[in-house]
Chains A and B, each alone.
Chain A
């Protein structure tokens, strides 16, 4: 069965500092990987996705993520965090053997200190 683990429930960083959110997945084939962001009271917005090809993917709002097959990881990074990045971030995995179903991690809530 597929699964996603986001080890950090909460993370606090200072504005301007770098950010890395961890995501580990379990999947029986080549995975499709996603990062979504959810602001309070809002739906989920796609930040970036990995289907194949270059293992370093660029997304919106200055985010990037790196797919590491050997570590079953897809960590999200941003070099300099802005106060508006405070939100909850979800990693998700899907792929061909699961039809089009996604499994989401439990989320990481990011707080940004001024």
Chain B
């Protein structure tokens, strides 16, 4: 299996622009997670899905952040409008039932 795929790997944008991060989970996995990693706050869970349904979005920082999972093989995390403090590495992870989470390579987002 190719593992969890994320795109783009790097994104540089200007404040106020819309940013969309994409994730393809491992085939057959029924859980998908979005995390954010920063020096100050470490790894934070933003939201997770089970069978394409959002289960817990309490980690989403503000209404500027939204996530969707239209089908079992694709998810997006959108930031609109983006701000410099959103600069971070965003990881997607997937798992089968309650087993191990497998992480993608991450998207490094820089908001100028």
Contacts and interface: CB of A to CB of B under 8 A. Distances in A.
Contacts, number: 46
B102 interface: yes
Interface in B37-86: 42-43, 45, 48, 50, 55-56
Please report whether the interface of chain B is mostly helix, strand, loop or mixed according to DSSP: strand
A46 interface: yes
Contacts of A46: 100, 102
A57 B43 CA distance: 24
The size bracket of the interface on B is: 20 to 34
A32 B43 contact: no
B55 A99 contact: yes
Interface of B: 4, 31, 33, 42-43, 45, 48, 50, 55-56, 91, 93, 95, 97-98, 100-106
Interface of A: 32, 34, 36, 42-46, 49, 90, 94, 96, 99-107
18 contacts: A36-B103, A42-B105, A43-B91, A43-B104, A43-B105, A45-B103, A90-B43, A94-B98, A99-B55, A99-B56, A100-B31, A100-B48, A102-B33, A102-B101, A104-B42, A104-B43, A106-B42, A107-B42
